[in-house]
A = this chain, B = another copy of it.
């Protein structure tokens, strides 16, 4: 099954970002993609660099502009698309939500980001309520998609829960980048850690893992720091953690063949799920051991 991701740099002009996404989606379709993943909050600049109530104007309902626009593209091209929106769920209640659009343009399912980060220039706890939809794969015509979002990618619990719930691949729309003040060595370690932890999820669960990251530098609106340099390097690992594709820092569309059938072969000879000590895991539900 040909799977694509679109790694893009964004500007302040939403229409330009969307036009570019459309061109890239059509490029992926032309190359045979049946599933296309967009990066986190792909319509906009990453507005969480600062806490500003005006940014709530960017939010939309699930059945809003993005679902209609990309749903039309999904239908016209008979392709499944994973989009990422700033969701207005109710007055004063917002989420960071992935929406999966089926080949007929309908909504196959949604996922509300469960783990919400908050650190300098990534003030997401101001904007997004943590999800309450749990870790449920979304059933589609191309398989059960374990869609999560960004910060979720650091949590082995989240990957495992998606696997236990029948996910056939793990998918992470992401917007992660460097504080330019960090040393190049520290930047490299952060990027490598980000890749490594998700590769670990592939191996531990015998599932393909797809991470679609933003790229390009975005200025800090308040100039409190030097902005974020989103590091790109989107990737696709196979179900044994083998690298199938890896982007660099440039904008690019990646299209590769993913073989979800390999999961069963691997689980037969490395039967991790047979031997899980569920009788001994209960402390995972604790904040800490004291």
**Residues of A in contact with B (beta carbons under 8 Å apart):** 114-117, 119, 130, 134-135, 151, 154-161, 164-166, 189-190, 192-193, 196-204, 240-242, 269-273, 275-278, 280-289
Contacts and interface: CB of A to CB of B under 8 A. Distances in A.
B155 A204 contact: yes
A241 B272 contact: no
Contacts of A241: 189, 192-193, 196-197
Nearest to A151: B275
Contacts of A135: 280, 283
B280 A286 contact: no
Contact of A157 (B115, B281, B286, B288): B281
A240 B197 CA distance: 10
A196 B193 contact: no
Copies of this protein in the assembly total 2
Given A192-B242, A242-B189, A278 B287 contact: yes
A135 B276 CA distance: 13
B275 A160 contact: no
B165 A280 contact: no
A134 B280 contact: yes
Contacts of A197: 200, 203-204, 241
Nearest to A190: B240
A200 B192 contact: no
A77 B52 CA distance: 61
Contacts of A165: 283, 289
Given A154-B203, A160-B284, 9 more contacts: A134-B280, A156-B160, A156-B200, A156-B204, A157-B276, A157-B284, A189-B241, A278-B285, A282-B285
A242 to B, nearest CB: 5
